[in-house]
C-alpha cells in the first residue's frame, strides 16, 4: 500500500540563550516560578535581523541533508507558523525563495501548537493520493518579537521560545505494516468557540475600521493574550482524548508505543497525560526544559532531538499529540 514516511528530521534554534534568571532581570518573575509552573529552564530568542523563514530554512537544510536527497526532489513546502515573516504572502513563500525552489506548491498552516500535526496530516493525504512524492514540512516560530516582555505580559512571555524543526515526508510502499516505516494515521480537530482564549487580536480585519489603530496599541492588542487556566483545562482533556482515539483506530494500546513526542506547552500537562496512560517516564521525550514552547516547531524539534539523542530508532512506534490556540488539537501515530 502507498503510504508516507518521515525520511529525515532537522532543527535549528538561534544562538541567543535566555535562562530563566535572564528573563527575571526583565520582568517580575523568577526561575522558581517558571520551573515549578511549567518545567521551562531556558529558551532561545532571535536577534533583530532574524525572521521565522530564516529559522525555517536552517531547519529545512538540515532535514534535506539528513534525507540525503537533492532539494530538487521536493514537490511541496508546508510551513506551519503563527509568527509569519509578514502578513502576506505566506512564510512558505519566503522559505521557498530562500531555498531556491521556485514553481512547486508552497502552503502556510495557521494552526498554532497543532500546526505540525495539521501539516503532517495534509502532506500525508497528498502522498497517499499519489499526487506528490516528497514534501518538506517546516514548523518555525519567532515569538520573541511579538510578546510583551515586561511584567504586564509575564504570564505569556516566560513560556515561549524561538526555533524551527523540519521533516521530509516521502512516499513509501508498505509491505509489512508491523515493521515498515510509515504514518499509520493522523487526527485533527478544532473548536473555534474558544478562539479568543489564546490569541493576538491586532492587526486584523475583525477590529472595526482599521486593522490596527492607536487605541489597539495603547490597549496592547498587538500582544498575545491567554486565559492560561482555560487553556490548561482543555489541553489535559483534548490531548488524551485524541491520543486514545489514535490508539483505538490502530488497535494499539499505550504499551505498544515506544516513544511519545508530545507538544511542549507545560511539563505538568505532559506529566498528567503520561500518568493517565500509565506511560513510563523514559518513553516520553520532553524538550520544554531547553527550548520552552516553540509552538509549531515543537514536535519536529522533539523528533530531531530524539533521533540525535539515540532515543528514536528505526522500527519504533511513535505517538504525537498537540493542543493549542484555536482551540486546535490532534495526534499522529507513525512507525519510524
Give the catalytic positions in this structure.
Answer: 113, 263, 293
| Closer to ligand UT7 by Cβ: residue 288 or 307 | 288
Least Å distance between CB 289 and ligand UT7?
14
The radius of gyration computed from the CA coordinates of the chain, to the nearest angstrom, equals 19
| Closer to ligand UT7 by Cβ: residue 84 or 324 | 324
What the block records as the C-alpha cell of 335 is 512507525
| Closer to ligand UT7 by Cβ: residue 217 or 233 | 233
Least Å distance between CB 273 and ligand UT7?
12
Q: Judge residue 282's burial from the number of C-beta atoms within 10 Å of its C-beta, 0-12 exposed, 13-18 middle, 19 or more buried.
A: exposed
**Number of neighbouring beta carbons within 10 Å of residue 251:** 7
Closest CA to 185 of 321, 3, 332: 332
| Closer to ligand UT7 by Cβ: residue 6 or 158 | 158
Least Å distance between CB 100 and ligand UT7?
33
Q: How many CA atoms lie within 13 A of 92 on its CB side?
A: 20
Least Å distance between CB 165 and ligand UT7?
15
- Going by the DSSP 8-state scheme, the letter that residue 284 receives in this structure is B
What's the rounded Cα separation, in Å, for the pair 227 and 76?
Answer: 36
In the three-class reduction of DSSP (H, G, I as helix; E, B as strand; rest coil), residue 25 is classed as: coil
Least Å distance between CB 38 and ligand UT7?
5
| Closer to ligand UT7 by Cβ: residue 11 or 269 | 269
End-to-end CA distance of the chain: 17
Place of cell 509569519: 84
Least Å distance between CB 153 and ligand UT7?
9
| Closer to ligand UT7 by Cβ: residue 30 or 125 | 30
What's the rounded Cα separation, in Å, for the pair 170 and 172?
Answer: 6
**Number of neighbouring beta carbons within 10 Å of residue 110:** 16
Contacts of 175 (CB under 8 A, 6+ apart): none
What's the rounded Cα separation, in Å, for the pair 77 and 168?
Answer: 9
Torsional class of 75: left (φ above 0), alpha (ψ -120 to 50), beta (otherwise)? alpha
In the three-class reduction of DSSP (H, G, I as helix; E, B as strand; rest coil), residue 151 is classed as: helix
Least Å distance between CB 318 and ligand UT7?
20
Closest CA to 63 of 145, 138, 148: 138
| Residue ranges that bind ligand UT7, judged by CB under 6 A | 29, 33, 37-38, 113, 154-155, 158, 228-229, 231-232, 235, 265-266, 269, 293, 324
Residue 331 near residue 113 (C-beta atoms within 8 A): no
β-pair type (42-44, 17-19)? antiparallel
| Closer to ligand UT7 by Cβ: residue 96 or 295 | 295
Amino acid at each position: 500500500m502507498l503510504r508516507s514516511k518521515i525520511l529525515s528530521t532537522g532543527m535549528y534554534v538561534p544562538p541567543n540563550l535566555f535562562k530563566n534568571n535572564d528573563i527575571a532581570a526583565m520582568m517580575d518573575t523568577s526561575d522558581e516560578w517558571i520551573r515549578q509552573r511549567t518545567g521551562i529552564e531556558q529558551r532561545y530568542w532571535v536577534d533583530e535581523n532574524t525572521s521565522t523563514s530564516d529559522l525555517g530554512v536552517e531547519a529545512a537544510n538540515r532535514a534535506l541533508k539528513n534525507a540525503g536527497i537533492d532539494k530538487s526532489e521536493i514537490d511541496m513546502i508546508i510551513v506551519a507558523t503563527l509568527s509569519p515573516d509578514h502578513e502576506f504572502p505566506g512564510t512558505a513563500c519566503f522559505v521557498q525563495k530562500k531555498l531556491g525552489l521556485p514553481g512547486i506548491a508552497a502552503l502556510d498552516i495557521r494552526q498554532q501548537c497543532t500546526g505540525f500535526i495539521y501539516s503532517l496530516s495534509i502532506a500525508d493525504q497528498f502522498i497517499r493520493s499519489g499526487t506528490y512524492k516528497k514534501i518538506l514540512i517546516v514548523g518555525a516560530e519567532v515569538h520573541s518579537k511579538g510578546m510583551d516582555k515586561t511584567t504586564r505580559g509575564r504570564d505569556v512571555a516566560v513560556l515561549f521560545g524561538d526555533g524551527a524543526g523540519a521533516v521530509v515526508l516521502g512516499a513509501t510502499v508498505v509491505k509489512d505494516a508491523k515493521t515498515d516505516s510509515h504514518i499509520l494515521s493522523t487526527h485533527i480537530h478544532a473548536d473555534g468557540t474558544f478562539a479568543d482564549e489564546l490569541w493576538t487580536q491586532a492587526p486584523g480585519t475583525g477590529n472595526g475600521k482599521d486593522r490596527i489603530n492607536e487605541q489597539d496599541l495603547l490597549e496592547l492588542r498587538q500582544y498575545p493574550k491567554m486565559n492560561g487556566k482555560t487553556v490548561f483545562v482543555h489541553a489535559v482533556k483534548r490531548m488524551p482524548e485524541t491520543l486514545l482515539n489514535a490508539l483505538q483506530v490502530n488497535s494499539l494500546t499505550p504499551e505498544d508505543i515506544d516513544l511519545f513526542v508530545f507538544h511542549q506547552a507545560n511539563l505538568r500537562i505532559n506529566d498528567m497525560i503520561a500518568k493517565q496512560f500509565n506511560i513510563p517516564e523514559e518513553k516520553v521525550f520532553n524538550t520544554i526544559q531547553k527550548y520552552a514552547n516553540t509552538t509549531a516547531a515543537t514536535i519536529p524539534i522533539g523528533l530531531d532531538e530524539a533521533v540525535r539523542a539515540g532515543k528514536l530508532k528505526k522500527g519504533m512506534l511513535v505517538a504525537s499529540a498537540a493542543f493549542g490556540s484555536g482551540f486546535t488539537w490532534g495526534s499522529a501515530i507513525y512507525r519510524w
